[in-house]
């Protein structure tokens, strides 16, 4: 069956959020998204960290403003931690 | 600061340009890099010397996708460039994504702005959460000819390398905070129901339905507008906004700058003795626009498109003790005059000031 557009968008959104947090906020690659408890917690925490950094509302949810910021062209150096 | 506070152990650094992007003239690339290096050497004891055929502290190159540093580029947009903190080998090196549209102006991505940012990393700075800082992670265009290194970045780099040797220490612009009680404005206008407060290269945008105030660079919406807008007003009937700086004015039709602008302010009927406009507002019920310059004001008839006779007049004689006007706008029948951190609410029907507030009263602080 054709995938319903919303779920497809959701998939893309999650992909954007995960790759952004992995690139710039040290989200561990194997954060076990399928283990809803730990994986989700870490993603939410990282999302909150990113929202706090950019002065966005800290919701832990990929709201419009957060996604808008993630889509902005930017520097490839992470916002936290070292870049060696 | 980058974790571990990495820094160069010497002040005289070397750089080398390994290759060039075909999208810009080599001379323009060289100039962009030299200007970017001066951004940092102007505020620290650091010096940068170009070398050609040997290892330099800072190796600058344009790279494509996977370029063997474990940080592949991602094609156009997205990640524009990256740089490594001070250290041997790859330390200090700057990599620019070759697939970006590099330019020396406001189109695509301005090479000078991006390289200046990356050099901040090469010298040991990490990202700043100050939206006006050069070290803010997201790209934003500023006209290179108007670029001033913000104070946030000066503080950061001088904390690592100390102050410059210049007799007079350079300072930089500070990002306006909406709830700063000392905030003053260059110009204010309504724009399709919103209120735009201009300050330096920034615009604070207040939508009546939103509690927060949005801070943006003027250049984000209007790359061809200069910073430091001095006056602005909306002609609601024509859905136009006029913006003034020095002897020129621009016209916004809707949200876009109309072609053929800027034009000299004398087209509006000002005498040659007038060099700039301090503030303006337009009364949509009478079709009259008021221009405030020093201690006087002119009145312009929007229908006749000419200045009314009998002006200028003294501001004090018709508006009371509001002093010099920095900015003004009309909303819901009242006129709001801003002088420094003071705001006066004026009732044009009763011809008197009905209230005095703080300049930041619109920002729900």
Tens of pLDDT, residue by residue over B190-234, are: 999 999 999 999 999 999 999 889 999 998 899 889 999 999 999
Q: Indicate which residues of B carry an active-site annotation.
A: 118
Contact B79 A76 (CB under 8 A): yes
Give residue B6's pLDDT: 87
Closest CA to B200 of B220, B185, B215: B185
User: What ipTM is given for this predicted complex?
Assistant: 0.85
DSSP B216-280: EEHHHH-TTS-S---EEEEETTTTEEEEEETTEEEEEETTEEPTT--EEGGGGT--TT-----EE
Percent pLDDT > 90 in chain B is 90
A-B Cβ pairs (cutoff 8 Å, strict): 67
Per-residue confidence band for B143, with pLDDT thresholds at 50, 70 and 90:
confident
pLDDT digits (tens, 9 = 90+) for B21-80: 999 999 999 999 999 999 999 999 999 999 998 999 999 999 999 999 999 999 999 999
CA distance A56 to chain B (A): 11
What percentage of chain B exceeds 70 in pLDDT? Answer: 100
Q: Is the pLDDT of residue A1 over 90?
A: no
Maximum CA pair distance of chain A? 46
Determine contact: B79 vs chain A, CB below 8 A: yes
- Of B188, B189, B199, B257, give the one whose Cα is nearest residue B228: B199
Per the CB < 8 Å rule, is A54 touching B79? no
Is residue B154's pLDDT more than 90?
yes
Q: Which residues of A touch B82 (CB under 8 A)?
A: 75-77, 83
Nearest to B302 by CA among B239, B231, B225: B239
Does residue B80 sit at the A interface (CB-CB below 8 Å)?
Answer: yes
Residues in chain A whose Cβ is within 8 Å of chain B: 23-24, 53-55, 69, 72-77, 79, 81-84
Q: Write out pLDDT tens, residues A25-81.
A: 999 876 555 555 566 688 999 999 999 999 899 999 999 999 999 999 999 999 987
Query: CA-CA distance, B206 to B209, in Å (whole number)?
Result: 9
Measured between CB atoms, does B245 come within 8 Å of chain A? no
Q: Residue A75 is nearest to which of B77, B129, B137, comparing CB atoms?
A: B137
Chain-centroid distance of CA B79 in Å reads 23
Least confident stretch, A3-7, B39-43, B340-344: A3-7
CA–CA separation, B150 vs B39, rounded Å? 10
Among candidates A55, A79, A84 on the partner chain, residue whose Cβ is nearest the Cβ of B137: A79
Smallest CA–CA distance from A52 into chain B, residue: B129
pLDDT at A30: 67
């Amino acid at each position: 069956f054709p995938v319903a557009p919303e779920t497809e968008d959701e998939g893309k959104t999650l992909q954007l959020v995960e790759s952004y947090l992995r690139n710039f906020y040290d989200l561990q690659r194997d954060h076990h998204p399928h283990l809803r408890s730990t994986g989700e917690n870490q993603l939410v925490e990282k999302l909150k960290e990113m929202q706090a950094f950019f002065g966005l509302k800290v919701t832990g949810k990929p709201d419009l403003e957060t996604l808008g910021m993630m889509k902005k062209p930017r520097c490839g150096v992470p916002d936290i931690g070292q870049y060696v | 600061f980058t974790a571990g506070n990495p820094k160069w152990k010497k002040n005289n650094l070397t750089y080398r340009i390994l290759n060039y992007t075909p999208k810009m003239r080599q001379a323009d690339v060289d100039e962009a890099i030299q200007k970017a290096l001066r951004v940092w050497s102007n505020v620290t004891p650091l010096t940068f010397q170009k070398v050609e055929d040997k290892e330099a502290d800072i190796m600058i190159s344009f790279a494509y996708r996977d370029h063997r540093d474990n940080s592949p580029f991602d094609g156009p947009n997205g990640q524009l460039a990256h740089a490594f903190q001070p250290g041997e080998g790859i330390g200090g090196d700057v990599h620019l994504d070759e697939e970006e549209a590099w330019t020396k102006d406001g189109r695509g991505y301005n090479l000078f702005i991006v390289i200046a940012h990356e050099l901040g990393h090469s010298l040991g700075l990490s990202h700043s959460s100050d939206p006006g800082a050069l070290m803010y992670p997201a790209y934003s265009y500023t006209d290179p000819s108007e670029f001033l290194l913000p104070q946030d970045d000066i503080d950061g780099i001088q904390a690592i390398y100390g102050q410059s040797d210049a007799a007079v220490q350079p300072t930089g612009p500070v990002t306006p905070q909406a709830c700063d009680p000392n905030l003053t404005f260059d110009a204010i206008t309504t724009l399709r129901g919103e209120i735009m407060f201009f300050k330096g290269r920034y615009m604070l945008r207040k939508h009546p339905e939103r509690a927060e105030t949005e801070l943006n660079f003027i250049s984000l919406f209007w790359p061809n507008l200069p910073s430091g807008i001095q006056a602005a007003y909306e002609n609601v009937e024509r859905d136009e906004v006029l913006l003034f700086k020095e002897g020129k004015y621009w016209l916004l039709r809707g949200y876009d700058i109309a072609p053929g602008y800027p034009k000299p302010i004398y087209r509006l009927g000002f005498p040659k003795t007038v060099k700039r406009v301090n503030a303006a507002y337009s009364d949509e019920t009478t079709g009259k626009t008021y221009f405030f310059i020093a201690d006087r004001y002119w009145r312009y008839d929007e229908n006749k498109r000419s200045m009314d006779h009998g002006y200028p007049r003294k501001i004090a004689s018709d508006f009371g003790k509001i002093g010099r006007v920095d900015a003004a706008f009309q909303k819901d029948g009242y006129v709001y005059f801003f002088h420094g951190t003071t705001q006066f609410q004026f009732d044009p029907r009763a011809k008197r000031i009905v209230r005095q507030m703080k300049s930041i009263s619109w920002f729900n602080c």
